[in-house]
């Protein structure tokens, strides 16, 4: 994994962590929309799936945020 600043002026690892955090949070938000649809249709299987997926996305975002804190503390 490269750590040069490339075109963004930001270290690649910093950009990568920020990007993963953003995309996980975006995924959790999107799952919320799908979850509402599944609940509206009364589809328990899909409701459970989207709840689980949303939880996993939030956990991933939380982990990435923790890694960002550690990453910045070392910078």
pTM: 0.78
**Residue recorded with tokens 């959790």:** 28
d(CA 29, CA 49): 14
The gap from C-alpha 26 to its chain's centroid, in whole angstroms, comes to: 6
- For the segment 17-69, what is each residue's pLDDT rounded down to a tens digit? 999 999 999 999 999 999 999 999 999 999 999 999 999 999 999 999 999 99
Distances (CA, A) of 6 to 14, 33, 36, 48, 74: 12, 36, 41, 42, 20
Spell out the alpha helix ranges (H) of the chain: 12-41, 44-74
d(CA 12, CA 52): 30
List the domain boundaries for the chain.
12-74
């Amino acid at each position: 994994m490269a750590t040069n600043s490339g075109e963004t002026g930001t270290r690649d690892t910093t950009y990568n962590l920020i990007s993963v955090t953003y995309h996980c949070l975006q995924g959790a938000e999107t799952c919320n929309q799908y979850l509402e649809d599944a609940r509206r249709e009364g589809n328990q299987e899909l409701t459970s799936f989207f709840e689980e997926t949303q939880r996993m996305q939030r956990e991933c975002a939380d982990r990435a945020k923790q890694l960002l804190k550690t990453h910045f503390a070392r910078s």
